A and B are shown apart, each in its own frame.
Chain A
Amino acid sequence: MEMNVNATAAPARDLSVTLSGVRLQNPVIPASGCFGFGYVMAEYYDIDCLGSISIKGTTLNSRFGNPLPRTAECPAGMINSVGLQNPGVDKVVEVELPKLREVFHQPIVANISGFSVDEYVEACRRIDGAEQVGIIELNVSCPNVHGGGMSFGTSCESVAEVTRAVKAVTTKPLYVKLSPNVTDIVSIARAAEDAGADGLCLINTLLGMRIDVKTRRPVVANVMGGFSGPAIFPVAVRMVYQVSKACSIPVMGCGGVSSARDVIEMMMAGATAVQVGAANLRDPYACPKIIKALPEEMERLGIDRLSDIIGCV
């Protein structure tokens, strides 16, 4: 009755993809905030089967985050208002990354947030030096923090400004993670590309809200939060499709992915790699199950090399 957690069972087909020169054995990456700093998950399975790992959103200074409750049930998804709880970039580099390094032996994605251009720049500069960081992912879209990430991700000017400033002090490929809470995601994506971004990641959570009808109060203490899970998959596919058609830099697709078929659909829409978020929270084995199912799904669909289907639509 136990599930098989061995996800590395000899894939006969080529699952590898390359993001700005960083080669991943497969395109499956747990999304930021849904995998902690990775090493806790290594208690449950061998995480070396993953393509990469996007670590919990890290800021220059430590943050406790928002008051509780921080989560709400939704149809085919959930709301979170964690509010970027993290120990700050120095502790992440000195304490968290070395723990992850013992159990994950491939390049990671360092997800960074900030509340001013200077904060982004300083946090990115400090994490850029960590050897295991393969890609820096700028979260310009976290909807949780007042006056924070949200404002950067919603204007072309501020996205361009922070991208340019961080690019100037970092050596690793820089990916900008976009917010879906905008009227024209394509113009924001182009602004990031023009400012020097090496790639893009989309989408972050959609701003949402639930109300407890018995108490007549919002369910999460912060009133609103980020909505994610299977419900947002069509929105993510649409945005990845639009952005990858309009830009020439690689895209990591994210939002509602929970099966091997979703991964393939996201790649057909234009994603080079695919991030899996909330699905990990419902099923801690979501990623190894997807990786294990990918070769079978490819066989069924007549795909020899996964990288062949990127943006084929």
Chain B
Amino acid sequence: MTNIAHKLRVAENLRLTSRTWKMVLEADHEGIITAPGQFVNLEVEGKFLRRPISVCGVDGRRITLLYDVVGEGTYEMSQWPVGYVADVLAPLGNGFDPSRSGDSPLLLGGGIGVAPLYQLARELVALGRRPVVILGFNTADDVVWEEEFRQAGAEVYVATVDGSRGTKGFVTDVPACTDPARTYFYACGPLPMLRALSDSMPIGGELSLEARMACGFGVCMCCVVQTADGPKGICKKGPVFRKEELIWK
């Protein structure tokens, strides 16, 4: 039995770009998050449904999140002062499987989808792998966490849709993406990006999906996806699925 309800203290909450914020939550013990790619579900005052956010990094008792302010819930989160005690469900979801990576895995992040790849990159480096990370954004002003990935020991490329930074286009337009030396891929980002990767990548991989969720822990069936093995809840059996599992409609 796992207690998934935690009170976590906001240790940092700061704006990184015009849309993206970084929040560090501190627990009174280590080990709440058990795999890279898991997420947390945050209670926001005045909102009935919680807000699901991926775990970007784990350092002892500290859990780092990156989040875009897109609506009322995430705006409210951006107003939490240091010391605010957040009501958090964690750990949620299965997470990525670093053991499948092979020698030179590719990590592909679109927009805020770069967040869960960071802890994965660190764990891959610790396993002696050589992760190649490609971060895709709309424009140069949106680029986040590039330096952090580099410091974690990954080889990092950036693509922007408007060409204002790095390769012009999508993550798939970066030559390192199609390099035959790549052994496996891990991806998180908007659905069209995941779908394109699923169709075009010749190697095996894992994709992290998102959906509007009510519970986040596998009981309401609001977040289902069709798989080769029947419908599965994204929050509980995912959010990470192997490429072959998913059936795209």
Contact = CB atoms under 8 A, between A and B. Distances in A.
B217 interface: yes
Given A68-B212, A71-B49, A40 B226 contact: no
Interface in A65-82: 65, 68-78, 80, 82
Residue among B5, B28, B50, B226 having the largest count of chain A Cβ atoms under 10 Å = B5
B43 A282 contact: yes
Interface stretch (A41-49, A161-169, A173-181, A237-245): A41-49
A197 interface: no
A36 B212 contact: no
Contacts of A281: 49, 214-215, 219-220
Nearest to A2: B3
A3 interface: yes
A233 B167 CA distance: 55
B220 A82 contact: yes
A228 B187 CA distance: 35
B48 A68 contact: no
A165 to B, nearest CB: 28
Interface string B205-231: 000000111110111111110100011
Contact of A40 (B7, B49, B224, B236): B236
Contact of A82 (B49, B89, B221): B221
A78 B211 contact: no
Contacts of B230: 87
B43 A71 contact: no
Interface in B1-49: 1-7, 27-28, 43, 47-49
A102 interface: no
Nearest to B72: A73
A53 to B, nearest CB: 11
Contact of B222 (A2, A64, A71, A77): A71
Interface residues of B, number: 33
Contacts of A75: 48
A75 B49 CA distance: 10
Interface string B49-80: 11000000000000000000000010000000
A73 B218 CA distance: 18
B180 to A, nearest CB: 36
Interface in A144-167: none
Nearest to A221: B212
Residue among A40, A75, A85, A282 having the largest count of chain B Cβ atoms under 10 Å = A282
Contact of A44 (B27, B28, B43, B217): B217
Contact of B214 (A2, A3, A5, A80): A80
A229 interface: yes
Residue among B2, B27, B214 having the largest count of chain A Cβ atoms under 10 Å = B214
B220 A42 contact: no
A313 interface: no
A78 B7 contact: no
Nearest to A68: B211
Nearest to B89: A284
Contacts of A69: 211-212, 222
Contacts of B226: 64
B43 to A, nearest CB: 7
A278 interface: yes
Given A76-B48, A78-B48, A70 B222 contact: yes
Contact of A85 (B6, B47, B50, B224): B224
Contacts of A283: 5
A115 interface: no
A77 B107 CA distance: 38
A64 B231 contact: yes
A257 B28 CA distance: 32
A1 interface: yes
Contacts of A35: 219
A190 interface: no
Given A41-B219, A64-B231, A80-B222, A278 B2 contact: no
A40 B6 CA distance: 19
A87 B189 CA distance: 30
Nearest to A36: B219
A280 B222 CA distance: 14
Nearest to A41: B219
Nearest to A35: B219
Contacts of B49: 71, 73, 78, 281-282
B210 to A, nearest CB: 10
Given A281-B214, A282-B43, A282-B48, A34 B219 contact: yes
Interface of B: 1-7, 27-28, 43, 47-50, 73, 89, 211-215, 217-224, 226, 230-231, 236
**Chain A to chain B: the 8 pairs with minimum beta-carbon distance, closest first:** A36-B219, A281-B215, A69-B212, A71-B222, A70-B222, A1-B7, A71-B214, A40-B218
8 contacts: A1-B28, A41-B219, A43-B1, A43-B2, A65-B221, A73-B49, A82-B222, A281-B220
Given A34-B220, A73-B48, 4 more contacts: A40-B217, A68-B224, A282-B43, A282-B48
